[in-house]
Amino acid sequence: MAIETTTASLRLPPLPYSENALEPIISARTLSFHHGKHHRSYLETLSKLIAGTELAELSLDELVTQTAGKTDHVAVFNNAAQAWNHRFYWRCLKPKGGGNPPPALKQKMEATYGSVEACKRQLIDSAVTQFGSGWSWLVLEGAHLKVIKTGNADNPITQGLRPLFTIDVWEHAYYLDYQNERPKYLEAVLKKLLNWEFAAENLRQEAHPIRAAA
């Protein structure tokens, strides 16, 4: 797997679809703000924070893992992890998504949760009960699936977990479209936008280090 350079890491990646491709579930206006302003801001802030330091030589993935828990690099971690999370999140969505997962992922979900629907319910419950800003994740822990939630910028790769997909529950991800109805947003994303193929691809690559999507 190719190593991601620092320059490529800190460049705002284009969305893998047009801004209006996820409508009516997620509006073009939300994507414009979310990607063009919030995601861009994390990268621009990160670039300023690491300029002229030894951290400037690190990839985005390395910035996340090497600054996690470091009290002298809290701002770097927060912006690097948020940039990583968003690069990954955009790939977790696709127009006309949802439906059934590919067989290997479906079998894993059934083995852990009994059914795909039970796994989805766990994801929604995790996301709904995340107090304040954060993320809900389906991860691989060893050979087993696990649903976890993280607050603010926290990222599962710092815990040695492999993310398969994530749902953003920061308010800027849904407030323009759903106001305070977070459960409605979550239900719609899981039913109609979730990119199960991307999750299955991450499952297949479990022997390789997980990297932020290009």
Give the separation between CA 156 and CA 58, rounded to whole angstroms: 19
Residue 96 lies in a domain: no
DSSP code string of 112-171:
HHSSHHHHHHHHHHHHHTS-SSEEEEEEEETTEEEEEEEETT--GGGGT-EEEEEEE-SG
What range defines the domain where residue 150 resides?
103-204
Give the separation between CA 28 and CA 165, rounded to whole angstroms: 22
**At a CB cut-off of 8 Å and minimum separation 6, what does 68 contact?**
77, 81, 155, 158
- Whether pTM exceeds 0.95: no
Give the separation between CA 190 and CA 121, rounded to whole angstroms: 10
Question: What pLDDT sits at residue 10?
Answer: 85
Identify whether residues 72 and 109 lie together within a single domain. no
Task: Report, as an integer, the average pLDDT of 6-15.
Answer: 78
Q: CATH no. for residue 83? A: 1.10.287.990
pLDDT digits (tens, 9 = 90+) for 19-54: 999 999 999 999 999 999 999 999 999 999 999 999
Structure tokens at 144: 């087993």
pLDDT digits (tens, 9 = 90+) for 64-119: 999 999 999 999 999 999 999 999 999 999 999 999 999 999 999 999 999 999 99
Identify whether residues 192 and 122 lie together within a single domain. yes
